[in-house]
């Protein structure tokens, strides 16, 4: 769609991330509108479809400790966002293929197109359709699957040129198709996880409400700080999600309190926490989200609340970004 020479303004819809809005829209208006008028102008016209350009927010769901609910969070946050009309891509970045299995593809070894193939194609500079082999789940999320081949690919990454940026190069090819890309990281801080952190805009850290998983936070935060310093200066932590919370025990209560005291001053601890429940454990073998398996369960409600909290935080950051851009 063409625009007049005076207001060359590609209006964006509610689904379009503000990063696109900032890049494409603020330059001409900055010259003619004061900051207050512009903010009003933006929120009034944000539903007007003119040029709808989507650039996904990429979120790495990471913790080097296993069994803390990373994969469960990736599935249910992803489907929760899809239920809010967001276009979502899930990336299984674990050679065990747990995310792929949880979404119903049990025989991961039979898959011919996986994350390993995508990364190898980038390393070899091969021309390949980045969308080939993506799996479409009935709950309206797409998946880049994984299997044990990713373990050997991780070894190949060690000697690759620009090795920390291989996953970023792949995701750059598809991020204009989605609102959110969620990377389910493996329980280690190896080369694949470093690639995920380099590709990501932000990090969500699921932490089990027990002493040892909480203690491991220090090492993870140190790794994130190194990635921020060397390969991804824009990386930030969205928040810590407390999982498998048993509110009946003193240990869970004290761990939650310890996390809030130690990290709450500079890292957001989500208000929502995910309770421990039998249904949440069962759903991983059913090929569906908790919303489809047990929609009225306390875990389903918790993940719905968490999804809304994530979206609310992103909208708040959008508003702050717009205001900040026009204050400069």
Higher pLDDT, 66 or 24: 66
C-alpha torsion sign, points 151, 152, 155, 160: negative
pLDDT at 12 over 50: no
Q: Provide the 10 A C-beta neighbour count for residue 290.
A: 28
For residue 140, give Cα distances in angstroms to 74, 82, 311: 14, 6, 18
For residue 241, give Cα distances in angstroms to 60, 176, 232, 245, 309: 13, 27, 23, 10, 11
pLDDT tens by residue, 180-190: 999 999 998 89
Residue listed under structure tokens 């926490």: 273
Q: Report the share of the chain in percent with pLDDT over 90.
A: 58
* Residues contacting 12, CB < 8 A, separation 6+: 20, 21, 25, 46, 50, 51, 52, 53
Q: What is the mean pLDDT of residues 278-297?
A: 89
pLDDT band at 327 (very low <50, low <70, confident <90, very high): low
Q: Kindly report the CATH number that applies to the domain delimited by 57-327.
A: 3.40.50.300
Q: Which two tokens stand for residue 31?
A: 């010259």
pTM: 0.81
pLDDT tens by residue, 95-148: 999 999 999 999 999 999 999 999 999 999 998 899 999 999 999 999 999 999
Residues comprising the chain, all counted? 328
Which of 32-46, 55-69, 81-95, 198-212 shows the highest mean pLDDT? 81-95
127 exposure class (CB count in 10 Å sphere: 0-12, 13-18, 19+): exposed
* Residues contacting 139, CB < 8 A, separation 6+: 79, 82, 288, 289, 291, 292
* Residues contacting 1, CB < 8 A, separation 6+: 50, 51
Residue-level pLDDT at 147:
95
Q: What is the mean pLDDT of residues 313-321?
A: 77
Q: Which two tokens stand for residue 217?
A: 């936070």
CB of 144 closer than 8 Å to CB of 175: no
pLDDT at 322 over 50: yes
In the chain, CATH 3.40.50.300 sits at 57-327
CB of 61 closer than 8 Å to CB of 209: no
pLDDT tens by residue, 58-87: 999 999 888 889 999 999 999 999 999 999
Which stretches does DSSP call E strand in the chain? 57-61, 88-93, 135-136, 142-144, 180-185, 202-208, 236-245, 269-275
Q: Is 238 helix (H, G, I), strand (E, B) or coil?
A: strand
Residue-level pLDDT at 27:
47
d(CA 201, CA 236): 7
Angle of CA points 193, 86, 12, to nearest 5°: 110
């Amino acid at each position: 769609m063409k625009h007049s020479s005076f207001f060359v303004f590609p209006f964006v819809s509610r689904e379009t991330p503000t990063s696109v809005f900032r890049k494409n829209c603020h330059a001409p208006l900055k010259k003619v509108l004061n900051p207050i008028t512009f903010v009003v102008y933006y929120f009034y016209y944000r539903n007007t479809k003119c040029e709808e350009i989507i650039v996904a927010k990429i979120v790495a769901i990471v913790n080097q400790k296993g069994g803390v609910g990373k994969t469960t969070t990736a599935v249910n946050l992803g489907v929760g966002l899809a239920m809010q009309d967001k276009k979502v891509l899930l990336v299984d970045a674990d050679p065990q293929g747990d995310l792929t299995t949880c979404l119903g593809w049990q025989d991961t070894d039979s898959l011919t197109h996986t994350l390993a193939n995508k990364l190898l194609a980038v390393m070899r500079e091969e021309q390949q359709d980045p969308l080939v082999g993506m799996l479409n789940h009935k709950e309206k999320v797409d998946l880049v699957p994984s299997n044990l081949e990713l373990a050997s690919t991780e070894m190949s990454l060690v000697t690759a040129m620009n090795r920390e940026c291989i996953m970023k190069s792949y995701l750059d090819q598809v991020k204009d198709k989605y609102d959110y890309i969620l990377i389910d990281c493996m329980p280690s801080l190896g080369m694949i996880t470093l690639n995920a952190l380099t590709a990501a805009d932000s990090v969500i850290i699921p932490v089990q409400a027990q002493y040892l998983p909480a203690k491991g936070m220090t090492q993870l935060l140190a790794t994130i700080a190194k990635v921020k310093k060397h390969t991804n200066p824009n990386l930030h932590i969205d928040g810590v999600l407390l999982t498998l919370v048993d509110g009946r025990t003193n240990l869970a209560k004290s761990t939650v309190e310890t996390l809030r005291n130690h990290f709450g001053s500079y890292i957001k601890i989500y208000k929502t926490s995910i309770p421990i429940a039998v249904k949440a454990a069962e759903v991983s073998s059913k090929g569906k989200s908790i919303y489809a398996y047990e929609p009225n369960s306390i875990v389903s409600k918790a993940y719905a609340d968490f999804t809304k909290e994530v979206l609310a935080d992103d909208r708040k950051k959008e508003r702050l970004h717009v205001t900040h851009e026009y204050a400069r």
